[in-house]
């Protein structure tokens, strides 16, 4: 592990005019974005119910639904419990807490970024809170200004947005009132593609990253106070777009992030590097998959690469230049197998231990959404609004169902509490047997 010199930083807490919440900012140099570890109060661990989905990839960071009895057939006129129009545009996947469904969106014309809460039973809007107005930063046309999936610890809701050439994390109470804002670090537009990193949550912190060219970083923000506990450099020439997760790996709770050519495992409390393994291409746009004993990471530019690592970070196997290796979609593990959906529509299955390919099949359309494991099946949504369901089996591709909605899908599906939730470009659907 390389030692790095910490920059001289000055933390400033500003009271926002006319409000009671805090903005935490720091002065920093352009060459070193690291912040020394700040000792902050340790918070009690948070609890989520089996019917909650508190963050990107779900409560176990696996993208596995706890439900197996989820509907497999729907259309605009079949098995739609409710359909809620979502103002603005956003690609964030919704999270679920009790009867609340929380997601983010952005009105690109008015340059307004906001959080939205919907009643899980009725689909009615409970509240909408503006987080930022104006000062939007550049992005790719395929991206949105609200692509980062939020998180919750059961008491607070955390959202992140790129704004004013920075990445902000904002905490709200369960009624949508702003508690604090934290300018977690700079944002260089990630090569004009924009930001899309989801939040991760664990211990006393919510974790956020931005791997813009020349000044990438990952940071831990205290859940209660909004202060930055630590920040580490993630620098590269090209930049990357992956999202961190907190996961159990080899008996340890680690913060995992793939990007800028490597996979890194961090200690949650201090940000120390537990291990770091090179071997990916420069740009990653997804999240690692884990099965508790191994971690799997893929990258998409300038080469397609896949790394399978043991719990200590050593390489178990690797693949390069396969067109089935995903770039934006994240992979999923199921039993002893690893399932991939490439952005070009190639579905494949590998033996997780050996890397042997079991099968490969082309699906219709292109994909940004990540596959979801539901019982013995995998649900995956393409950008044209089609969801394909197939068997999570190594024996060969077996299609179960194909369902179509009116609009394109970039967010990932969630199946929780006996219902399937899909966010399209214009609506959020609650799908179930009627």
Tell me, what's the pLDDT at 5? 30
What is the token pair recorded at 23?
């903005």
Q: Are 55 and 152 in contact (CB under 8 A)?
A: yes
Please report whether residue 324 resides in a domain.
Answer: yes
Q: β-pairing, 178-186 with 22-27? A: parallel
Q: How confident is the model at residue 215 (pLDDT cuts 50, 70, 90)?
A: confident
- The percentage of the chain sitting over the pLDDT mark of 90, rounded to a whole number, equals 85
> Is 3's pLDDT higher than 80?
no
> Is 260's pLDDT higher than 60?
yes
pLDDT single digits (tens) 114-135: 999 999 999 999 999 999 999 9
Q: Examine residue 302 and say whether the peptide bond preceding it is cis (omega within 30 degrees of 0).
A: yes
Look-up of token digits 């997760």: 245
Tell me, what's the pLDDT at 159? 98
Sheet containing strand 205-210, edge to edge, reads 200-202, 205-210, 217-222, 228-233
DSSP letters for 73-89: --BTTBSEEEEEE--SB
Highest mean pLDDT among 17-21, 44-48, 192-196, 204-208: 204-208
Q: Are 407 and 385 in contact (CB under 8 A)?
A: yes
Question: What is the Cα–Cα distance from 342 to 328, expressed in whole angstroms?
Answer: 8
Tell me, what's the pLDDT at 235? 81
Question: What is the Cα–Cα distance from 98 to 117, expressed in whole angstroms?
Answer: 12
Tell me, what's the pLDDT at 127? 98
Tell me, what's the pLDDT at 190? 53
Question: What is the Cα–Cα distance from 166 to 164, expressed in whole angstroms?
Answer: 5
Q: How confident is the model at residue 59 (pLDDT cuts 50, 70, 90)?
A: very high
Q: Are 133 and 108 in contact (CB under 8 A)?
A: no
Backbone φ and ψ for 13, nearest 5 degrees, come out as -105, 120
Task: Tell whether the torsion through CA atoms of 180, 185, 186 and 190 is positive or negative.
Answer: negative
Q: How confident is the model at residue 51 (pLDDT cuts 50, 70, 90)?
A: very high
What does the pLDDT average to over 383-407? Answer: 98
What does the pLDDT average to over 389-411? Answer: 98
Tell me, what's the pLDDT at 119? 98
Question: What is the Cα–Cα distance from 199 to 152, expressed in whole angstroms?
Answer: 10
Look-up of token digits 């680690």: 254
Please report whether residue 1 resides in a domain.
Answer: no
Tell me, what's the pLDDT at 304? 97
Backbone φ and ψ for 256, nearest 5 degrees, come out as -115, 135
Tell me, what's the pLDDT at 10? 29
Q: How confident is the model at residue 2 (pLDDT cuts 50, 70, 90)?
A: very low
Please report whether residue 3 resides in a domain.
Answer: no
What does the pLDDT average to over 363-388? Answer: 98
What does the pLDDT average to over 361-389? Answer: 98
> Is 25's pLDDT higher than 80?
no
Contacts of residue 141, Cβ cutoff 8 Å, sequence gap at least 6: none
- The percentage of the chain sitting over the pLDDT mark of 70, rounded to a whole number, equals 92
Q: Judging by beta carbons within 10 Å of its beta carbon (0-12, 13-18, 19+), is residue 216 exposed, middle or buried?
A: buried
Supply the CATH number for residue 161's domain: 2.130.10.10
b/e map 290-327, b = 16+ CB within 10 Å: bbeebbbbbbbeeebbbbbbebebeebbebeebebbbb
22-26, 245-249, 382-386: least confident range: 22-26
Q: Which domain holds residue 316?
A: 10-39+52-431
Please report whether residue 115 resides in a domain.
Answer: yes
Q: How many domains does the chain have?
A: 1
What is the token pair recorded at 401?
């169902």
pTM: 0.93
The more confident residue out of 296 and 213 is: 296
Question: What is the Cα–Cα distance from 429 to 426, expressed in whole angstroms?
Answer: 10
> Is 241's pLDDT higher than 70?
yes
Tell me, what's the pLDDT at 275? 98
What does the pLDDT average to over 22-39? Answer: 70
Q: What angle do CA 362, 368, 374 make, to 5 degrees?
A: 75
pLDDT single digits (tens) 278-337: 999 999 999 999 999 999 999 999 999 999 999 999 999 999 999 999 999 999 999 999
Look-up of token digits 């690797």: 318
> Is 29's pLDDT higher than 70?
no
Coil, strand or helix at 192: coil
Task: Tell whether the torsion through CA atoms of 373, 301, 165 and 110 is positive or negative.
Answer: negative
Beta bridge partners of 220: 207, 230
Q: Which helix (H) or strand (E) holds 113?
A: strand 112-119
Q: How confident is the model at residue 8 (pLDDT cuts 50, 70, 90)?
A: very low
Q: How confident is the model at residue 22 (pLDDT cuts 50, 70, 90)?
A: low
DSSP letters for 88-102: SB--PPPEEETTEEE
> Is 434's pLDDT higher than 50?
yes
Please report whether residue 45 resides in a domain.
Answer: no
Look-up of token digits 């939007």: 136
Q: Are 315 and 309 in contact (CB under 8 A)?
A: yes
Q: Are 7 and 228 in contact (CB under 8 A)?
A: no
Question: What is the Cα–Cα distance from 93 to 147, expressed in whole angstroms?
Answer: 8
> Is 17's pLDDT higher than 80?
no
What is the token pair recorded at 99?
């009867």
DSSP state of 173: -
pLDDT single digits (tens) 146-203: 999 999 999 999 999 999 999 999 999 999 999 999 999 998 755 567 888 999 999 9
**Average per-residue pLDDT for the chain:** 92
């Amino acid at each position: 592990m390389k030692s790095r010199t910490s920059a001289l930083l000055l933390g400033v807490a500003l009271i926002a005019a006319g409000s009671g919440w805090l903005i935490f900012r720091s002065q920093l140099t352009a060459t070193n974005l690291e912040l020394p570890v700040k000792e902050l109060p340790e918070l009690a661990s948070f609890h989520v119910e089996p019917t909650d989905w508190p963050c990107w990839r779900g409560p176990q960071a696996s993208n596995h639904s706890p439900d197996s009895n989820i509907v497999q057939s729907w259309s605009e006129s079949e098995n739609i419990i409710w359909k809620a129009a979502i103002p603005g545009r956003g690609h964030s996947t919704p999270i679920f807490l009790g009867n609340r469904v929380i997601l983010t969106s952005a009105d690109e014309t008015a340059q307004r970024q906001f959080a939205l809460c919907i009643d899980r039973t009725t689909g009615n809007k409970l509240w909408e809170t503006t987080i930022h107005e104006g000062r939007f930063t550049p992005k790719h046309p395929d991206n949105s200004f609200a692509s980062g999936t939020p998180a919750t610890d059961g008491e607070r809701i955390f959202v992140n947005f790129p704004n004013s050439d920075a990445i902000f994390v904002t905490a709200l109470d369960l009624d949508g009132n702003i508690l604090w804002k934290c300018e977690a670090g700079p944002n260089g537009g990630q090569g004009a593609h924009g930001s899309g990193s989801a939040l991760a949550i664990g211990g006393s912190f919510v974790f956020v990253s931005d791997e813009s060219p020349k000044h990438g970083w990952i940071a831990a923000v205290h859940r209660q106070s909004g202060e930055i506990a630590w920040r580490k450099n993630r620098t590269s020439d090209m930049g990357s777009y992956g999202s961190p997760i907190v996961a159990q790996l080899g008996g340890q709770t680690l913060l995992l992030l793939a990007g800028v050519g490597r996979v890194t495992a961090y200690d949650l409390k201090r940000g120390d590097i537990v291990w770091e393994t090179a071997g990916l291409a420069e740009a990653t746009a997804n999240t690692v998959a884990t099965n508790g004993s191994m971690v799997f990471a893929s990258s998409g530019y300038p080469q397609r690469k896949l790394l399978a690592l043991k719990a200590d970070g050593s390489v178990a196997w690797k693949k390069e230049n396969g067109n089935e290796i995903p770039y934006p979609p994240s992979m999923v593990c199921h039993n002893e197998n690893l399932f991939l959906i490439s952005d070009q529509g190639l579905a494949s299955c590998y033996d997780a231990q050996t890397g042997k390919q079991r099968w490969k099949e082309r699906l219709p359309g292109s994909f940004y959404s990540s596959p979801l494991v539901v019982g013995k099946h995998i649900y995956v949504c393409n950008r044209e609004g089609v969801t394909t369901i197939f068997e999570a089996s190594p024996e060969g591709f077996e299609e179960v169902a194909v369902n179509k909605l009116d609009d394109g899908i970039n967010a990932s599906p969630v199946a929780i509490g006996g219902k399937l939730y899909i966010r399209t470009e214009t609506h959020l659907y609650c799908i179930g047997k009627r």
